[in-house]
């Protein structure tokens, strides 16, 4: 009986159970608090990739308005935070003739995806610009360069469905022929995504001249027999 009373086996089992339970609870808490940021970041990355794909659909709708003279097109996009806006910071200058462009931008989680003059570009926090979808320049003996002027002042933030209405302007801009000297025409693109434009133009017959980093622009020369500018104005309206 004295041995039974002095026995500590039950205490050892209780202590072991308490220690095991404590380890399990601490491990669960570490996984919970350490895993949530990873899950949240994964969800943000997935959402941004979805928006990049959605911008391709938006680009197609704007192209139908600009190129096929459709009166208007509506695009619905679902956002989970971030901000949509229309920017008027960009221009394209062909042979000394300057045309306003503008862009539709979605900023989310320190990244921005933008539609600008037929192309789609993504800008990362460090400033790197990646071309997601190529613009639609037609370069050759007869060169046609688009100049899609996006006009709008809307800005929408938050979550939910937003509608982007692209409306063809009633203003008529005929195809403009650009004078050529020695088969060369200068091309200057001023844009927040000028590095992406440089990547695209490097894939074409355009000849690189220089970067103008202080003015966020890139300069090229185009060799062609005829150069035309297809200028269109698209009114952009956003609503949630």
The full set of domain ranges for the chain reads 37-239
Report the percent of the chain where pLDDT is more than 70.
83
User: What is the overall mean pLDDT for the chain?
Assistant: 85
Q: Is the pLDDT assigned to residue 12 strictly greater than 80?
A: no
DSSP the chain: -HHHHH--HHHHHHHHHHHHHHHHHHHHHHHHHHHHHHHHHHHHHHHHHHHHHHHHHHHHHHHHHHHS--SEEEEEEEEEEEEEEEE---EEEETTEEEE--EEEEEETTEEEEEETTEEEEE-TTS-EEEEE----B-SSEEEEEEEEEE---EEEEEEEEEEEEEE-S---PPEEEP-BTTEEEEEEE-TTHHHHHHHHHTSS-EEEEEEGGGTEEEEEEE-SEEEEEEEEEEEEEE-
Question: For 16-28, what is each residue's pLDDT tens digit?
Answer: 666 676 676 666 6
Question: For 92-122, what is each residue's pLDDT tens digit?
Answer: 999 999 999 999 999 998 899 999 999 999 9
pTM: 0.81
């Amino acid at each position: 009986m004295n041995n039974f009373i002095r026995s500590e086996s039950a205490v050892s089992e209780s202590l072991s159970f308490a220690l095991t339970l404590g380890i399990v609870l601490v491990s669960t808490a570490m996984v919970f608090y350490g895993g949530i940021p990873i899950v949240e970041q994964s969800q943000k990355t997935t959402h941004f990739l979805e928006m990049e794909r959605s911008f391709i659909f938006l680009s197609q709708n704007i192209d139908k308005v600009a190129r096929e003279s459709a009166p208007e097109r509506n695009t619905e996009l679902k956002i989970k935070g971030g901000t949509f806006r229309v920017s008027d910071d960009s221009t394209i200058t062909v042979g000394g003739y300057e045309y306003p462009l503008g862009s539709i931008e979605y900023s989310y989680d320190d990244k921005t995806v933008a539609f600008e003059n037929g192309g789609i570009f993504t800008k990362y926090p460090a400033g790197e610009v990646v071309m997601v979808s190529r613009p639609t320049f037609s370069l050759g003996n007869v060169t046609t360069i688009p100049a899609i002027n996006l006009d709008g002042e809307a800005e929408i933030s938050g979550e939910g469905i937003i509608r982007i209405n692209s409306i063809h302007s009633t203003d008529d801009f005929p195809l403009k022929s650009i004078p050529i000297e020695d088969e060369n025409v200068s091309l200057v693109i001023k844009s927040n995504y000028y590095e992406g434009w440089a990547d695209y133009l490097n894939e074409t017959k355009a000849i690189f001249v220089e970067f103008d980093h202080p003015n966020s622009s890139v300069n090229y020369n185009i060799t062609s027999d005829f150069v035309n500018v297809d200028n269109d104005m698209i009114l952009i309206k956003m609503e949630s």
